[in-house]
Structure formats: structure tokens, C-alpha cells
Amino acid sequence: MNVLFTVQASQSEFDRPNETVSVVVGKRALLPCYVSLKDVKNNGTDSFKILWMKVNNSAVLTVEDRAINGDSRISILHAYADEWNLQIDEIDEDDAGIYRCFINSGSFKTLQLDVKVPPKIIDDLTTVPYPSPILAGSNFTIKCYAHGKPTPKVRILSYDHSDNVKVISEQNEVTIYNVSRSTSHRYECIASNGYPPDVARSFQITIQYPPEVILSINEEIITNLLFINSNYDEIRLKCQVTMSPFGKIHWMKDSKRVNSNYQVYHIKNYIISEIIIKYLTNDYQGQYTCIASNPYGMNSKSIQILSLPATTTNRNTLRHKRPKHTRFTTVSYSTENLRMITLSSKSINNTYQIILLFCLLITVVYFK
């Protein structure tokens, strides 16, 4: 349909010559067009027709009260003689643009339809919720991009192990440097532009690292190389390992692998391997080593376990002269308490440690 208008300078027929209407995508838009019948008659137009057009594509939408473009979302609200409002249902982004309400005299009113779009995550540009595992010591970049009108603002948050939250960036990308086991594993980005709903995406990262090993005897963490048992009827030797991914744990006694008599179980993020020694014969004495491994490395901790014969001697404390290249702690001997002796040197081996220990014990008994 071709319609010709001669545009006049006077716009007095309308309530206002220009107007902007804002609406959120998916909602209904009402573009008002109020025509002053008195001014129309004063301008010499006794009968008139109203036409709506979208200027961006020169499409005629309605003539009088009829929609003619085939879009079922478009209609005219003409409840009163001077109202010719254009209604568009289920607004989408393509509906944004410039509209004009014409009188066949050539006068018109211009309306700007501004379509607001709530934020939406752009999947192709944003980090996936569960990215591939990250090796400890490497860097990792979190990306978060969102579409919307107006352009959304982005915040990237991190959560610690207690779910305490903090903002780490207000940009679309942030890099976490030198990740480690203690690095936060949970992140979230939130995009907002003032037109609800805001959108969010969570990221759960997995950090892979070699084993870390802690040894304990009877629930006490071992910091020494030698454990002397004098009053326990049972020894619980526990190896606590954290590693990602989970790998293997095994025990060595002296130079032989222990194939039985130990348990393996999980507590939170740890793997626990425990040897329980109930019958303290001479066979239980020796060096015990817990060895843990996964694809990213191996770690181990060792302890030398010896047993002292029972004695009724009162507690005595001896201090020994420090031999070259060797450090001794003060040794307290008692039948009531656990004895820990540290022998540390870069130049001595386990055999020398054991011989030195027995010499020390003989000296203690002799001087008592």
C-alpha cells in the first residue's frame, strides 16, 4: 500500500510532537497518539484519517483502526474519538525504533520506542560452570560476558571454604595466578543493568596437586624421626594424605612392602591409611614409611619405632655433649611417659642413629 503525505510545519493537532516510550522486552508497549479534534478543524480538515508507520523500515502498520501489516501483535486502541494509540504485544528487540502517527493532512507525531533487555549470559564468551581441572602452580582466567540493554555491569565473586564472599573483579575477565590447594574453588559472576532479573553463573574449579603427607602416632602428629615406645600396649600409626586426583597409598616396613594389617578410609578431603600394632613383639620394631602418589608426584614420610624394656627407675634427665654433625635433644626417660628423640644430620644414616640411640640408653641405665 502506497500512501503519500505532504508534511506540514504545524503540529498543533497533537498533544506533543515527540515522545519516548521505554518497555522491557517481552512486555506490552503502548505508543500514545492524541489528536486535538478542535485543532484539526481549525486547520481546515473536517474529516481525517490516522496512519501508523515505523520509520526505520518505512512499513505502514495501521490505517485508521485496522492493522494491515499482518502482525497479530499490533492493534489500535481507539476508545475515544481523539485517541489513536498503537499497542504492540510481546515486545522484542527488533521492535525498537522510530514510529510516527500521521494525519492525512501531513502532520505527524514522532515516538521513539526504546526496548530494554534484561541481562543474559553469553555462553560462547563465558567460562563453563565446570572447567577442566587446573594444575597447581598454573594460572586460570575466569571470563563472564553478558548481553543486555543497557549494557550490563559484571561482578566476579569468590567464595572461601567457609562461604565468605568477596568481589574480586568488576571487569569481564579476571586471572587467578599461581593456584594452589588453598585457592578458592568456587566463583560466581553476576550481571545486572537495572532491569530485572539479574543473571548469575557459578564456576566450580578443581585444582590438581601432588600428595601432601602427615604422619601421627596415637593421634599425635610426628615431627621427629624416632619414636620410642615404653608404656603403650597398642600403637596406631596413621598416615593422612591430601592429593588431587586421588592416587595410591602404601606402606613400607624397612625395605619390605606391607601388604596387609592396615586400613584405608576417607575423612572430608583426606585419605587416611592406618596401621594398628596390637601385639608389641620385637617384630614390630623398625622403620615405617607411608608413600603416596598420583599422576603429579610422590611424597612420603618415615618414622623409626623402637621399644624400651619396662623399668621402675624414676625419671632422670641427661644432657649429652653434641658430637660433630649431630644434634641431640634432651632425653627424659620414664616408665610413665612417651619418649621422643630427634636425631637430625645430613651425614648420618638410620643404622648410625640406632647404634647411637642404644649407646645412649646403656649410658642412662649404667648411671642410674
Give CA–CA dist 260/230, Å, rounded.
25
Fold (CATH) for 126-205:
Immunoglobulin-like (2.60.40)
Query: pLDDT tens-digit profile of 147-168?
Result: 999 999 999 999 998 899 999 9
CATH of 13-116, one of 3.40.50.2300, 2.60.40.10, 3.40.50.970, 3.30.420.40: 2.60.40.10
Q: Which residue has the cell 501489516?
A: 69
Say which residue, 165 or 342, is predicted with more confidence.
165
End-to-end distance of the chain based on CA atoms, in angstroms? 121
pLDDT over threshold 80, residue 364: no
Confidence (pLDDT) at 106: 81
Confidence (pLDDT) at 218: 86
Mean pLDDT for the chain overall: 81
Tell me if 220 sits within 8 A of 324, measured CB to CB. no
Confidence (pLDDT) at 113: 97
Confidence (pLDDT) at 75: 96
Confidence of residue 131 (pLDDT cuts 50, 70, 90): very high
Confidence (pLDDT) at 38: 72
Q: What is the mean pLDDT of residues 59-85?
A: 92
Confidence of residue 10 (pLDDT cuts 50, 70, 90): very low
Say which residue, 354 or 95, is predicted with more confidence.
95
Confidence (pLDDT) at 296: 94
Q: Does 13-116 match 126-205 in CATH topology?
A: yes
SS3 track for 79-129:
CCCCECEEEECCCCHHHCEEEEEEECCCCEEEEEEEEEEEEEECHHHCCCC
Fold (CATH) for 209-307:
Immunoglobulin-like (2.60.40)
pLDDT over threshold 60, residue 13: yes
Confidence (pLDDT) at 219: 85
Query: pLDDT tens-digit profile of 255-314?
Result: 899 987 788 888 877 899 999 888 777 778 889 999 999 999 999 999 988 876 655 444
Tell me the domain boundaries of the chain.
13-116, 126-205, 209-307
pLDDT over threshold 70, residue 252: yes
Give CA–CA dist 365/28, Å, rounded.
98
Give CA–CA dist 164/202, Å, rounded.
15
Confidence (pLDDT) at 312: 45
Confidence (pLDDT) at 272: 93
Confidence (pLDDT) at 5: 39
Confidence of residue 230 (pLDDT cuts 50, 70, 90): low
Q: In what order do the strands lie in the sheet with 248-253?
A: 256-258, 248-253, 286-294, 297-307, 226-229, 339-341
pTM equals 0.68
Confidence (pLDDT) at 208: 96
Say which residue, 35 or 227, is predicted with more confidence.
35
pLDDT over threshold 70, residue 323: no
pLDDT over threshold 80, residue 337: no
